[in-house]
Each structure stands twice: as C-alpha cells, then as structure tokens.
Amino acid sequence: MIPSPAKFGETQAVRRRRREERVARAAFGVMALVLVVPLVLIVSHLVAQAFPLLSWDFLTTNPVAGMRKGGVWSALLGTIWLVGVSLAVAAPIGVLTAVYLNEYAGDTWLTRIIHLAVVNLAGVPSIVHALFGLGAFVIFAHLGRSILAASLTLAIMTLPVIIASTKEALASVPNSFREACWNVGATRWQTIRGIVLPNSISGILTGVILQVSRAAGETAPIMFTGAVFYKKIEAGNPFAYGLKDQCMALSMHLYTVTTQVPDVPHALPYAIAVVLLGTTLLVNATSIALRVYLRSRKKW
Amino acid sequence: MSGSITVAASSPEAARSLGRPRPRSAPWADLACHGLLASLAALVLAVAILILFETARGAAPSISAFGFHFLGSTEWDPVADRYGALPYLYGTIVSSALALTLALPLGIGTAVFLAELAPPRLGEAVAFLVELLAAIPSIVYGIWGVFVLAPWLRSALEPWLVAHLGFLPLFRGFPFGIGMLNAGIVLAVMVSPTIISLSRQILLALPGSLREAALAMGATRAEAIGVMLDAARPGLLGASILGLGRALGETMAVTLVIGNTNRISASLLAPGATMASVIANEFTEATGKLYLSALTEIALVLFALTVIVNALARLLVRGATGARRDIAGAA
C-alpha cells in the first residue's frame, strides 16, 4: 500500500499512482463482470425460455407428433444407458491402469510411452473418436450401430482423462504412508487396497464423475455409432433398451430437433437443453459435494 | 522409491525380521495382480496406437490421390471426386483465433480479479461457478448461439459493424447472424471457463513473496499485479494454448452456428466451415471411397494439429508451475 501522509508530501506522482491503482482495479473488476455475467445469463435465459414445458411428465413421456410434442423419456433413458455402459467399461480399466502406472511401474521407456499416449489421447477432439468408433466397433467388430458400440466409443474418449486424474489422486498420497505399510510386511497389493486407495478415493471419484458428465453431453461420438433420430420405446420402463439396440440420446435429440424438425414449438429445444444441462450439472454438483465430504474426513 | 534392497528377503516374514522396507519377492497373488494391471496399461497403449493407425489407414487413399495438394486446394467437389481441405483449415484457424482474441484478455483479467483482487470468499465462489460452466455440454452452447446470439447479431451488432467499420474487409457483406463471427463468439464463451480456472490456479501457485516484495518496494497493488503477471507469463500462455486446443476440436456447437459453406471469405460476417464441422456434417451422407477417405484425412490433420498444440501447452504450463503436480495435472 502507498503511505498516505494526508497533510504533506502528497506529490503529484503519488496522486497519479493512486488514480492508476483505482483504474486498474476497476478494469479487472469490469473484465470479470463482462465475462462471468453473460455466462450466467446464458444459463438463466435457457431456463426461463424452457420453463413453460418443464414438468415431471416431460421427463417420463415419449416424444410424439414427429417430436414436436411430448417429453424426452426415450432420449433421457438412452443417455443414461450410454453413460452407464461406458462408465462400466472405462472406470475399472482407467483406475486400474492408473494404479499400475503410479504404484507398480518404474520409470521405464514403456511407462513413459504409455504416459505420453494417455496425455495425447486426452486432447483428441471427440469427432476423431467418433470416426474411430465407427471404424473399429461398428464396422470391424461387427457391433453395428448400437448402444454397445456408442458406449465403447465414449469409453475410449473418457479413458485417458480418468487415467490422468486417478494418477494425480494416487500421487497425492504421501509416500510415507506406503513405506509404513510395507514396513509391517504388507505386499504391494495389500498396501494399495488398505492404504493408497482409501486415501485417494475422493480424488479418484471426482475425476470419474466429471467424465460422466462429459460423456452425457457429447454428441459427435455417438452420432455415427449408435444414436438415432427417433426410436419408439415403452415409456416408464428403464430396461426398454438392450445393448444391441440403437437408442436416442438427449444431446442428439437436441441437435435433431434444432436442425432437422420443422415447426418445433419455441420452448421445446430450450426444455431439452435444460434437461441435458440439469443432468450434467447434477452429476457435477454431486462430484463436488463428494469431494468436499471426503476431504473433510481426511486425516492428514 | 526404487528398490535399493541388497539383503535378500524371501518372504514378508523374513523382510520383517530383517527390518527391510519391502519384501523383495512378492507372493503369487501380488505377481498376478501386477501382471493383470500391466496388461491393462498395455491395452491403453494399444488403443492409442490403434486410433492413429485406423485414422491413417482410412486417410491413405486420399493421401495417395492428392498428396500435399490436399491442404492447399479449395476445391471440394464430391461429384467430380476432387477434394481440398484449405477452406476447412482456414475456418478452423480463423474461428479459433477469433475466439482466443475475445476470450484471452477477458479470461486472464477475470483470473487476476479472482486471484488477486476479489475477497477470497467471493473468488472461491465465482471460481466454483466457472468450473460448473466448464461442464455445460457444447451442444447447449450451440443452441444458445442459434436461438439467442444469431438474431442479436443479425439485427444489432452486425449491421452496426457494417455501418461503422465496413471500410475494413473484415466487416463487409450481409449480416446473416450465422457465420464466422457467431462461431468465434460461441467458442470464446466455451473456452473462457478453461482459461479462467487454469490462469487463476497458476496465479495462486506463484510464491506470495513475489507480491510482498513488490509491495515492500512501494509498488501499488496494480503494479504488484504487473510483477505477478510477468512471472506467470509462460503459464498463462500455456493456459491459453490449452484453450486453443479446445477450440480447434470443438464440433457440435460450431456446426450449428458457422453456416457450413466451403468458401473462404475475408469477412467475419460470412458463413464458413471448420474441419470438425465438415466431418460432422458430411460423414453420414458421404458416398464413395475417396469422399470418406478425404473426410478421414481431415480428421487426421485435426488430430495432428491438436496433439502439437496440446503438447506445447503442457510444456509451458509445466514449466510455469515448476511441475507442481496439483496444478500441472490440470494440463
């Protein structure tokens, strides 16, 4: 802070610097406002426009009348299936791979290459994954356009990020914990199960859950591999889809309704967007709450 | 933590009696576990190689048919089976550059405000909000671009730009609302949460003594922030390049708002297309081997571009945070 001798010595230079200080503060504050306020406004605008359509029925009924009326049940269920199956594949593989890289493998050329592959895969655009999923799962593995093929594509997309975040979580467990455990004669796996995983579970879960919300929001990877414009299923039955079926998905449904269907009611795209947004934000909020809760129980 | 054990310890019991930190040979279960995990890690590597291989294989017919001319040609004619990717390369670069021009000063300014000026509580709260915004699906931003931003651009901003700045080639032409400017703004909105939260973390990671030293020398807060920004420069550069990486590969939102034509136009008001958007738009309708192959080659180029950009960003962020894992991990 500038010393402020009130009566004497307040030279012109000091006054100028004070003025600059005020201007700079205001400028940074305005920048924050200019960026953060519109971001919040975008969300509130979507919700406001969607409001007339939002109801419990909107979630639990199927789209009707060429997707111009009705709800989003078949799309919502499709998204849940896609995300669930992709998570069932990506989470175990991702977490165990990270355990290997962090707990077992030394610093060899092989682990360095794996690490390099992981970080580079994490930045690959989803549309590239989409083409790979189409070539590898739909065509080569003869899975056809199906929930399984689309979920595997999503799994490939989320895997590197799960590995990276799990590795960070494992690396944050102090080494002295492991050494203490080894010293009482535990094997590596016993150490991992008893000490390392319980102490890093909050970080691991946060990373995995964040990828759930990312998978739920993606459109491009499922567009060629399993999601369809329209599919009629039984409303209210959560097992109306099978792994070999094609499905609808919220993100795809939103894209279709916006670009392909003429004369949609004004509020419909907004309402679908809000359901999609609600799903991802709910998942994210869960992850953050979990992180806070588990961290509060941390003993170190 | 590497094994510096010299005395043989053949079992956990022996290890304990010798007081050694780790058993040298593990029981079979531990070995099996090790093997299983190692094969999973190898699987991940195999997937990475497979993605690269598949994409390259799909692109091979187009590469052999057009060579480097593919990147320099503007011709995109499925009927004559002749393809050039220059308009899409141009669209990707221009829309991303526009997005960064808009998001970078504001994003870093916001990060400075949150890290240095705002009361800590407010800073935390806004940072949390920004993290949530980063999770909004790209298609939702696309919807906003189509239904909210485009009408406003068409009726307000673009006519104003044409009237007042129309002497620049950037702002000539008809105000469609949909086009490069819309795509740039939507991308700026999408990448700014990434830039804000990463820049904020980088600023918070700087040693506080830097600020204190500047203040002790009689600097004002604003001048101290200048010192901090100077020290954080490589990291901030890395954060913005990571934002660039996101913008380059963004697909659905851009597809909705960019207009999808393969013409190169100097005007930001004109519609265009990006590499990701042309794949999303045309892949399902593409018939013919060479057409599919040309689209796959675009995917390959995009792949290479993002890998290079991200690698550069990681190097810069890592250097700036001194390989502190908690922050460098975000990269």
Task: Report the pLDDT averaged over residues A224-250.
Answer: 81
Residue in B with minimal Cα distance to A260: B256
Residues of A in contact with B112 (CB under 8 A): 28, 31
Determine, for residues A39 and B225 on separate chains, whether the beta-carbon distance falls below 8 Å: no
Check residue B15 and give its pLDDT.
42
Residues of B in contact with A105 (CB under 8 A): 38, 41
Q: Return the minimum-mean-pLDDT range out of A82-91, A283-292, B290-299, B306-315.
A: A283-292
Torsion of Cα atoms, B248 then B252 then B253 then B257, to 10°: 100
Q: Which among B40, B129, B218 is the nearest to A97, CB-wise?
A: B40
- How do residues A271-289 score in pLDDT, each as one tens digit? 999 999 888 888 888 887 8
Looking at the structure of chain B, the number of domains it has is 1
User: How many CB pairs (< 8 A) connect A and B?
Assistant: 281
What does the mean pLDDT of chain A come to?
Answer: 84
Query: Is residue B188 within 8 angstroms of chain A, CB to CB?
Result: no
Q: Is residue B320 very low, low, confident or very high in pLDDT (cuts 50, 70, 90)?
A: low
Residues of B in contact with A35 (CB under 8 A): 103, 106-107, 109-110, 192, 196
Q: Which of A222, A198, A241, A233 is nearest to A62 (CA)?
A: A233
Find the angle CA(B104)-CA(B109)-CA(B111) to the nearest 5 degrees: 95
**Phi and psi based region of residue A137 (left: phi greater than 0; alpha: psi -120 to 50; beta: remaining):** alpha
Rank A80-89, A206-215, A261-270, A281-290 by mean pLDDT and report only the highest. A80-89
Query: Is residue A79 within 8 angstroms of chain B, CB to CB?
Result: no
Check residue B329 and give its pLDDT.
40
Alpha-carbon span B63 to B55, nearest angstrom: 12
Token pair recorded at residue A257: 């309704």
Please check whether residue B129 lies inside any domain of the structure. yes
Query: Is residue B176 within 8 angstroms of chain A, CB to CB?
Result: no
Homologous superfamily (CATH) for A56-296? MetI-like (1.10.3720.10)
What are the DSSP calls for A144-205, one per residue? Answer: -SSHHHHHHHHHHHHHHHHHHHHHHHHHTS-HHHHHHHHHTT--HHHHIIIIIHHHHHHHHH
Query: Is residue B273 within 8 angstroms of chain A, CB to CB?
Result: no
- How do residues A88-119 score in pLDDT, each as one tens digit? 999 999 999 998 888 888 778 888 888 888 88
Please check whether residue B43 lies inside any domain of the structure. no
Residues of B in contact with A18 (CB under 8 A): 220
| Biggest CA pair distance of chain A | 86
Determine, for residues A172 and B325 on separate chains, whether the beta-carbon distance falls below 8 Å: yes
Q: Where are the domains of chain A?
A: 10-50, 56-296
Please check whether residue B41 lies inside any domain of the structure. no
Between B188 and B74, name the one with better pLDDT: B188
Task: Report the pLDDT averaged over residues B143-149.
Answer: 89
Please check whether residue B65 lies inside any domain of the structure. no
Q: Which of A154, A148, A158 is nearest to A130 (CA)?
A: A154
Query: Is residue A260 within 8 angstroms of chain B, CB to CB?
Result: no
How many Cα atoms are found within 13 Å in the side-chain-facing hemisphere of A232?
Answer: 3
Residue in B with minimal Cα distance to A186: B12
Residue B254: domain span: 83-330
Check residue B126 and give its pLDDT.
85
Q: What is the 3-state secondary structure (H, E, C) of A30-41?
A: HHHHHHHHHHHH
Contacting residues for A22 by C-beta, under 8 A, at least 6 apart: none
Read off the pTM: 0.83
Determine, for residues B40 and A93 on separate chains, whether the beta-carbon distance falls below 8 Å: yes
Determine, for residues B30 and A217 on separate chains, whether the beta-carbon distance falls below 8 Å: no
For position B226, which CATH number holds? 1.10.3720.10
Residue in B with minimal Cα distance to A282: B132
Check residue A155 and give its pLDDT.
93
Residue type, B60: A
Between B30 and A298, name the one with better pLDDT: B30
Q: Is residue B300 very low, low, confident or very high in pLDDT (cuts 50, 70, 90)?
A: very high
Q: Is residue B19 very low, low, confident or very high in pLDDT (cuts 50, 70, 90)?
A: very low
Q: Is A252:A222 a contact under the CB 8 Å cutoff?
A: yes
Determine, for residues A128 and B299 on separate chains, whether the beta-carbon distance falls below 8 Å: yes
Residue in B with minimal Cα distance to A21: B222
Please check whether residue B60 lies inside any domain of the structure. no
Query: Is residue B283 within 8 angstroms of chain A, CB to CB?
Result: yes
Please check whether residue B279 lies inside any domain of the structure. yes
Determine, for residues B129 and A189 on separate chains, whether the beta-carbon distance falls below 8 Å: no
- How do residues B76-94 score in pLDDT, each as one tens digit? 888 888 888 899 999 999 9
Q: Is B150:B178 a contact under the CB 8 Å cutoff?
A: yes
Please check whether residue B232 lies inside any domain of the structure. yes
- Whether A214 has a pLDDT exceeding 50, the answer reads yes
In this predicted complex, what is the ipTM? Answer: 0.82
The bridge status of strand A69-70 relative to strand B76-77 is unpaired
Please check whether residue B76 lies inside any domain of the structure. no
